[in-house]
Chain A
Amino acid sequence: MTGSLTAMRFGRHFPLIPALALVFAMFAVPVAFVFVEAVFAPEFSLAHFDRFFTRSVYLTVYWNTLFVSATVASICLLIGYPMALFIVGQPERRRPLLLFLVLVPLWMSILVRTYAWMVVLGREGIVNSALLWTGIIDQPMTLMFTTGSVYVAMVQILLPIMVVTCYSAMTEIDPGLVRAARVCGAPPFAAFRRVFLPLSLEGALTGWSVIFILSMGFFIVPALVGGRRDVLLGNMIVNQIAQANWGFAAAMAIVLLVSTVVLLALVRLVAARFLYSPREV
């Protein structure tokens, strides 16, 4: 009896085994290695962490990384949510094309898209040429290698993810609910604010979190289009690895991982308190 029950449980969970094995081999084991690398250098010590949290160079970059990630995620939310709203409002047969247009950039390598921004924002780039030609400016502006260019490129790269996440959350909402609100006496904006918005916030927050996570790990974009001061934690880790400082690089990687997890947990906690989730009963 017990034997067959165990067998049944095993049978039920069996399909999970390949995925678990993959996560274990490709994620858990490397992270454990990184952790070991960070605290044994060569014997147990928290020296790397101590160095990170006591030197203002590193702390500045650390806060900058958090700030840039949160800002990029928020800008994506402010642009992506209305975009998704627009697509959901379109007739059903036109939506696939619009979604396709949103997704096309995702199929291009981040590297290619980042270099494309150099073509657009460079001294002799499209923007400067156009402004010079129309006579609005008489000297090329510095658009490349600025904090602004980092934001522009990161938002452009990550925006499709926000649009798609918001879109799928919005399509889950029964359009009858908005009709019901209207017939109950709510003008269009009130129906949106009281019914549609609360029901789509959960999805919007998921999009924000995904983009925040991805931003925290960015290093190609700031390296290619950013200025000297636009350094993210990812860049520092790459630098340390290039200098074979494995221990310190590992410590920073752990800080990055823990910060991301803690921050998202906080966001979830606040969301659970204030947002409606379709899963709760």
Chain B
Amino acid sequence: MNQGRAPVRFQNVSRSFGSVVALDDFCLNIDAGEFITLLGPSGSGKTTALNILAGFDRATSGEVYIGERAVGALPPEKRNVGMVFQSFALFPHMSVFENVAFPLRMRGVAGPQIKQRVERTLEMVQLAGYGTRRPAALSGGQRQRVALARAVVAEPPVLLMDESLSALDLKLREELQEEIRRLHREFGTTVVFVTHDQGEALTLSDRIALMDAGRIRQLDTPGALYDRPASRFVADFIGRTNIVPMDDGSHVSAVGLDHAPDHAVALSLRPEKLTRSPDRSDIRFEATVQDVAFRGATTELRLCLASGLPLRMSEPRSGALSLPARGETITVGFMRDDATALHE
């Protein structure tokens, strides 16, 4: 099935709109068959990068390669990529079957083969038997599946997904995330996924390129990005965290350290790494409880350090320790290895 999968390479790609620089000397090597996510806030350049890869936009300078082929000057129809749009972009005047058949027709595939391949693809996205319906007669999740089927039916070596799930509600989104992972395993296609949702990026990706202001701030596996953020921006964007500034000595001692780590401007302390249990911490400090909130699987504590810095703490509801009262001063700790020194 996965006859075609291609590496993708952005080589020093810049794109500016007037004086606004959307992509700034952007370099990225994507392996064949890899699921990579361009993650970032709006305006970070992730959509610009995708548009340049799809052929909707041209780089001001630099080149894009799909496989060994430089595609920067090619129109979208010559790039042989599949794409799932945020708005689905299903053709409203065509049936589900015709929507999915469209890429095959454009590639000149013969009629009987079209029927067979469309039906097989619709089956893969669990929409067998929906061929005669119009997109307007489908639910949001079904439309998304049709869009997915249309993007993969011609088995393009690269699949692009632009905020493809953000139009759906949470439950459906999680369901489709599963499905996209399964399709990726089955097809083995290279996937470039664009999202601003860090949770989605962590769930789906082999690697994440976290972008800001037209550049990659950090390129890593989801685990590494979460556990070893390189900067305040990354630590703050991926998951929730406490940033403890290290340039102020009072905060350093308030979290129980005798000196700041070398060259660190701040320390990232994940809320779930803070604990009240003394045997799971080697660094301990005192904090005042300001609020206790029940969150189902966890209890969220809002703490305040002696230096005045607020901290969040997330505690699994094991029930081993009784919940502190508001205003109470408690001893909190963490493992030295779990705190990440941030250098910018």
Which A residues form the contact surface with B (CB < 8 A)? 174, 176-177, 179-188, 190-191, 194-195, 198-199, 276, 278, 280-281
Contact = CB atoms under 8 A, between A and B. Distances in A.
A177 to B, nearest CB: 5
Contact of B75 (A184, A187, A198, A278): A187
B233 interface: no
A180 B136 CA distance: 17
A195 B91 contact: yes
Contacts of A186: 77, 102, 106
B77 A185 contact: yes
A194 B75 CA distance: 18
26 contacts: A174-B89, A177-B89, A177-B91, A177-B92, A179-B76, A182-B76, A183-B76, A183-B81, A183-B82, A183-B83, A184-B102, A184-B103, A185-B77, A185-B80, A185-B103, A185-B106, A185-B154, A186-B77, A187-B75, A187-B77, A188-B75, A190-B106, A191-B77, A194-B91, A199-B92, A276-B93
Contacts of B82: 183
A186 B99 CA distance: 13
Contacts, number: 70
A278 B55 contact: no
Q: Give the 8 A-B residue pairs with the shortest CB-CB distance, closest first.
A: A276-B93, A185-B106, A180-B89, A182-B76, A184-B103, A176-B89, A183-B83, A183-B76
B259 interface: no
B251 to A, nearest CB: 48
Interface in B41-99: 54-56, 75-77, 79-83, 85, 87, 89-93
B128 interface: no
B283 interface: no
Grouping DSSP codes into helix (H, G, I), strand (E, B) and loop, the A interface class, with mixed when no group exceeds half, is helix
Interface of B: 54-56, 75-77, 79-83, 85, 87, 89-93, 102-103, 106-107, 134, 136-137, 150, 154, 160
Given A186-B106, A281-B134, A281-B136, A181 B87 contact: no
Contact of A198 (B87, B93, B136): B93
Contact of B87 (A174, A187, A199, A281): A174
B151 to A, nearest CB: 8
Contact of B56 (A179, A185, A191, A280): A179
Contacts of A180: 83, 85, 89-91, 150
Given A182-B75, A280-B136, 14 more contacts: A174-B87, A177-B91, A179-B76, A179-B85, A182-B76, A183-B77, A183-B83, A183-B160, A185-B154, A188-B75, A190-B106, A191-B77, A195-B91, A276-B93
A195 B92 CA distance: 9
A181 B55 contact: no
A120 to B, nearest CB: 42
Contacts of A188: 75
A175 B106 CA distance: 19
Contacts of A190: 106
A182 B103 contact: no
B185 to A, nearest CB: 23
A276 B98 CA distance: 14
A183 to B, nearest CB: 5
A187 B107 CA distance: 11
A272 to B, nearest CB: 13
Contacts of B90: 180
B105 to A, nearest CB: 8
A179 B89 contact: yes
Contacts of B54: 179, 183
A184 B81 CA distance: 8
B191 to A, nearest CB: 15
Nearest to A276: B93
A126 B214 CA distance: 58
Contact of A182 (B77, B80, B87, B93): B77
Q: Which of A174, A182, A198 is most buried by chain B, counting CB atoms within 10 A of its CB?
A: A182
Nearest to B85: A176
B301 to A, nearest CB: 45
A176 B87 contact: yes
Nearest to A173: B92
Nearest to B76: A182
Contacts of B79: 183
A137 B118 CA distance: 64
Contacts of B154: 184-185
| Interface-central residue, B76, B136, B150, by most chain A CB under 10 Å | B76
A182 B75 CA distance: 8
A183 B55 contact: yes
A188 B103 CA distance: 14
B91 A181 contact: yes
B72 to A, nearest CB: 16
Contacts of A198: 93
A113 to B, nearest CB: 38
A172 to B, nearest CB: 11
Name the residue among A181, A184, A185, A278 with the largest chain B CB count within 10 angstroms: A184
Contacts of A278: 92
Given A179-B76, A281-B137, A184 B106 contact: yes
Given A184-B150, A190-B106, A199 B93 contact: yes
A244 to B, nearest CB: 54
Nearest to A187: B77
Report which residue of B54, B79, B90, B102 has the largest number of chain A beta carbons within 10 angstroms of its beta carbon. B102
A281 B92 CA distance: 9
Nearest to B136: A281
A180 B143 CA distance: 14
Nearest to A188: B75
A121 to B, nearest CB: 43
A126 B248 CA distance: 84
